[in-house]
Amino acid sequence: MRVCVCTVVHHPEDARILHRQIRALLDAGHDVTYIAPFTAVGAEPWPELHAVDVPRAGGRRRVKALRLARRALARHARDADVLLVHDPELLLVLPFVRRRPPTVWDVHEDTAAALTAKPWLPRPLSALLRPFVRRAERAAEKRLHLLLAEEGYRPRFAGGHPVVPNTTYVPLTSPPPPNAPKVVYLGHLSAARGADDLIALADLLRPHGITTELIGSADPKIAARLRDANRAGHLRWHGYRPNDTALALIQGALAGLSLLHDEPNYRHSIPTKIIEYMAHGIPVITTPLPAARTIIDRDACGIMVPFHDPPTAAAAILHLNNSPETRHTYATNGHRAARLHYHWPNQAKHFVSHLENWSR
């Protein structure tokens, strides 16, 4: 099967797109053409891929990227057996791509709810755009095959679309014990994702000899604050790192942080970072979003803290620091639950099967 995969918004080394889905397709013996913004972020494509470079769409600068993406799709998708797109923005250009094969939209987020978390989009405008986004989703459902990353996305659509959860690779062997004097955050950094809380938390932990390490890209205003804090030695910001490098950096941490705010887009999603902490034997510190609360209650793998409350988060981390038995129990429970519920190879075969069926 020949698969064309396209994104202009996500990093080309996005964990779900490259390290899980494309890796699964390659392992199954399929041929993959990957249209993505490699040069824009300085990423090197894998040699086994047919890589096509396009500009990256970001903020309010999206027209050029979408125009060139349409051109790349018109050239490369026509020879594919199935086309897989990852950005809702690409729904605008797909009608202008002729001779398009069966097309799949991988739905990563609640697109309309996520508008409120876009720092470049004024809040009044996001409210006005929400009904138009919902209408576009319903129109796309009639023309495309849909894959959903969360069970919570089902109510947005009329049909019964398959869910391929955003899980991760869980090591078969026991990970290193959570004994390093550091806490970690893995993922994009923004105000809605608790970046200000993480900066405040770092200042509270530093007098106790505990380092706060943040791994991920950041919105422009947050990036400026993180650079200042990094230079001052208040925390360590690694910036964006490929998935395998990022996971190596979190090994052995006292805790993994997920201080997401109570935003509509987060209420129906399992924060993937929580799953990755569990997979690598790291106790979880999380705000009480519904999916996170379910995981903590069911799997006993960490501690919930209130929204916007760095002092309580710091107290929870100091408790783990002073209680080796507790943090080791959380680490063991989390790793066991991740193997049982969130091991990507268990989902990979279903993902590949869906694309194979649709290509026929």
Q: Which helix (H) or strand (E) holds 96?
A: none
pLDDT at 99: 87
pLDDT at 117: 58
Compute the distance between CA of residue 87 and CA of residue 114 in angstroms, rounded to an integer: 13
Other CB atoms within 10 Å distance of the CB of residue 53: 16
List all residues 6 or more positions away from 61 whose beta carbon is below 8 Å from its beta carbon: none
Length of the chain: 360
> Which region, left, alpha or beta, applies to residue 281 given φ > 0 means left and ψ of -120 to 50 means alpha?
left
Cα three-residue angle 83-86-89, rounded to 5 degrees:
105
Whole-number pLDDT of residue 267:
85
Alpha-carbon torsion (74, 76, 82, 84), positive or negative:
negative
pTM of the model: 0.89
The per-residue pLDDT for 266 is 87
| Pair of tokens at residue 65 | 């990227």
User: Which residue ranges form the domains of the chain, and what is each CATH number?
Assistant: 2-166+344-359 (3.40.50.2000), 180-341 (3.40.50.2000)
Per-residue pLDDT tens digits for 21-37:
999 999 999 999 999 99
Task: Measure the CA–CA gap between 88 and 105, rounded to whole angstroms.
Answer: 8
Measured CA to CA, the distance from residue 99 to residue 257 in angstroms comes to: 46
Within 102-258, strands assigned E span 103-107, 145-148, 180-186, 211-215, 236-239, 253-258
- Per-residue pLDDT tens over the stretch 83-106: 999 998 898 899 999 889 999 999
Cβ–Cβ < 8 Å for 53, 33: no
SS3 (DSSP) at 119: coil
pLDDT digits (tens, 9 = 90+) for 64-79: 889 999 999 999 999 9
Bridge partner list, 187: none
Question: CB neighbours of 322 closer than 8 A, spacing ≥ 6?
Answer: none
Q: Is the pLDDT of residue 312 over 90?
A: yes
Distance (Å, whole) CA 263 – CA 284: 20
Over residues 192-235, the pLDDT tens digits come to: 999 999 999 999 999 999 999 999 999 988 999 999 999 999 99
Task: Work out the mean pLDDT of the chain and round it to a whole number.
Answer: 92
